[in-house]
């Protein structure tokens, strides 16, 4: 397969310049990774003398949130590099590598769900990173334009034409073979596809790095100063677990089934699954639950319960996390399982997630934390 020589060279330069700019503004020591945070960074000095449940703040930030955002930032950098390599030489090998890096980057981002507040909500960056479903009409208008698809053009098109979901739309199609997908990127008239792909990967990388850098510098101190840090974090944990139910409920037609109105599950719809094109639904959910598990365990919530005469609840939560993780699926592709009517594992995940959700409510009650509207939405 021939090299896509007509790819706009400006886009290539833009990618390289973006990488260089980030290296200068976010870190001065790339050898120690994008987000090196010292043990006594200014943003964490405010944590030293906190008391009661607030002692959870430091382990949550240092052991969970910062590493998760650091990983997401690093993965987005690799995704951008793979995008550039693919657009320079679109082959089966570079397509598979790009898909792999997309999957790893998306999973890393989904693990940060428990901390999507503060910097993630500024300028709606969370939506720019992962808005779904994509706006196919907006994307097709971009492709049909006579003008190059630049960063500015993609930004102007809005959230429906950027982020992880748009990359999925460009890279996966269940109705096409890989050869047919490659043909989109390897024809003279298909320059727009790679311009779009590269622009989206650059913007995605920059948005994730901006959020990660805010957490690595001043935001933790701002969060602690608000006095709502633990309720906000536990509220996002609660929302993330509830989100697992939401991601499964409609696709599995659970409500009608439980109400006795659809015993044969004829109303199931695999197309209602998140990331159904790529079959990444389960990876998204597992990444969400990884963030939850790390927050509860490495973040210190379980230890707090044990230290405050709540060992029984701590044991229940630990066992429930294990129960959720132990559910076995016949494959990683939940879309095909739903299509084939193989719903037992999906039903089990829904059921066990509901039980975990109830236990999070008990945890909040034990800690005298009210999970209200603002907590759940991270506003």
| pLDDT tens column, 200-249 | 999 999 999 999 999 999 999 999 988 889 999 999 999 999 999 999 99
Please, what is the average pLDDT of the chain?
87
The arithmetic mean of pLDDT across residues 149-161, rounded, is 96
pLDDT score, position 354: 97
Question: Quick one: pLDDT band at residue 50, thresholds 50, 70, 90?
Answer: very low
The arithmetic mean of pLDDT across residues 159-187, rounded, is 95
Question: Quick one: pLDDT band at residue 264, thresholds 50, 70, 90?
Answer: confident
Asked if residue 12 has pLDDT above 90, the reply is: no
E-state strands within 316-377? none
Q: Please indicate whether residue 4 or residue 341 has the higher confidence score (pLDDT).
A: 341
Cβ–Cβ under 8 Å, residues 360 and 241: yes
The arithmetic mean of pLDDT across residues 170-199, rounded, is 90
Is the Cα dihedral 195, 72, 126, 110 positive or negative?
positive
The arithmetic mean of pLDDT across residues 67-72, rounded, is 98
Spatial distance between the Cα atoms of 8 and 337, rounded to a whole number of angstroms: 41
Half-sphere exposure of 206 (CA within 13 A, CB side): 22
Q: Please report which residue ranges of 61-190 form alpha helices under DSSP H.
A: 66-88, 92-111, 125-129, 136-144, 151-157, 163-171, 178-185
Question: Quick one: pLDDT band at residue 189, thresholds 50, 70, 90?
Answer: low
Asked if residue 13 has pLDDT above 50, the reply is: no
Burial of 39 (0-12, 13-18, 19+ CB in 10 A): exposed
Asked if residue 373 has pLDDT above 80, the reply is: no
pLDDT score, position 191: 87
Spatial distance between the Cα atoms of 295 and 312, rounded to a whole number of angstroms: 19
Spatial distance between the Cα atoms of 166 and 163, rounded to a whole number of angstroms: 6
pLDDT score, position 143: 92
pLDDT score, position 372: 66
CATH number 3.30.450.20 is the correct assignment for the domain at 60-223? no
Question: Which is nearest to 316 in space by CA: 258, 375, 359, 254?
Answer: 359
Burial of 40 (0-12, 13-18, 19+ CB in 10 A): exposed
For residue 329, give both structure tokens: 């699926």
Question: Quick one: pLDDT band at residue 173, thresholds 50, 70, 90?
Answer: very high
Share of the chain above pLDDT 90, in %: 75
pLDDT score, position 186: 80
Asked if residue 30 has pLDDT above 60, the reply is: no
pTM comes to: 0.86
pLDDT score, position 226: 87
Prior bond to 88 cis, omega within 30?
A: no
* Total Cβ atoms within 10 A of residue 153: 16
Which residue matches tokens 């727009």? 192
Spatial distance between the Cα atoms of 22 and 206, rounded to a whole number of angstroms: 8
Give me the count of residues in the chain. 379
- Please give the angle made by the CA atoms of 349, 355 and 356, to the nearest 5 degrees: 85
Which of 20-29, 265-274, 325-334 is least confident? 20-29
Asked if residue 330 has pLDDT above 80, the reply is: yes
Spatial distance between the Cα atoms of 299 and 233, rounded to a whole number of angstroms: 10
Question: Quick one: pLDDT band at residue 43, thresholds 50, 70, 90?
Answer: very low
For residue 155, give both structure tokens: 């930004």
Question: Quick one: pLDDT band at residue 188, thresholds 50, 70, 90?
Answer: low
pLDDT score, position 102: 99
pLDDT score, position 187: 73
pLDDT score, position 258: 83
pLDDT score, position 263: 85
């Amino acid at each position: 397969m021939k090299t896509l020589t007509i790819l706009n060279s400006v886009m290539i330069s833009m990618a390289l310049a973006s990488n260089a700019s980030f290296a200068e503004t976010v870190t001065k020591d790339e050898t120690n990774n994008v987000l090196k945070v010292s043990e006594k960074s200014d943003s964490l000095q405010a944590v030293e003398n906190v008391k009661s449940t607030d002692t959870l703040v430091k382990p949550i930030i240092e052991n969970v949130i910062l590493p998760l955002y650091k990983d997401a930032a690093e993965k987005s950098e690799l995704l951008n590099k793979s995008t550039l390599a693919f657009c320079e030489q679109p082959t089966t090998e570079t397509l598979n590598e790009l898909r792999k890096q997309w999957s790893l980057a998306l999973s890393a981002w989904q693990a940060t769900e428990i901390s999507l507040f503060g910097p993630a909500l500024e300028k709606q960056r969370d939506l720019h990173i992962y808005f779904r479903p994509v706006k196919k009409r907006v994307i097709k208008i971009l492709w049909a334009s006579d003008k190059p698809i630049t960063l500015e053009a993609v930004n102007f098109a809005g959230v429906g034409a950027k982020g992880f979901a748009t990359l999925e739309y460009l890279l996966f199609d269940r109705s096409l073979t890989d050869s047919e997908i490659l043909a989109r990127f390897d024809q003279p008239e298909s320059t727009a596809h790679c311009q779009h792909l590269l622009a989206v990967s650059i913007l995605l990388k920059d948005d994730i790095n901006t959020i990660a850098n805010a957490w690595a510098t001043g935001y933790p101190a701002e969060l602690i100063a608000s006095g709502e840090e633990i309720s906000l974090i536990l509220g996002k944990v609660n929302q993330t677990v509830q989100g697992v139910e939401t991601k499964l409920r409609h696709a599995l037609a659970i409500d009608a089934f439980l109400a006795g109105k659809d015993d044969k599950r004829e109303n199931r719809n695999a197309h209602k699954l998140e990331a159904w094109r790529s079959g990444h639904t389960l990876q998204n959910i597992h990444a969400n639950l990884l963030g939850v598990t790390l927050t509860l365990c490495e973040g210190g919530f379980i230890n707090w319960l044990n230290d405050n005469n709540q060992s029984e609840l701590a044991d229940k939560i630990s066992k429930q996390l294990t129960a959720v993780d132990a559910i076995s699926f016949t494959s990683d592709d939940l879309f095909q399982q739903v299509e084939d009517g193989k719903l037992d594992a999906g039903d089990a995940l829904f059921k066990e997630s509901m039980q975990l959700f109830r236990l999070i409510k008990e945890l909040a009650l034990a800690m005298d934390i009210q999970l209200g509207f603002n907590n759940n939405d991270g506003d």
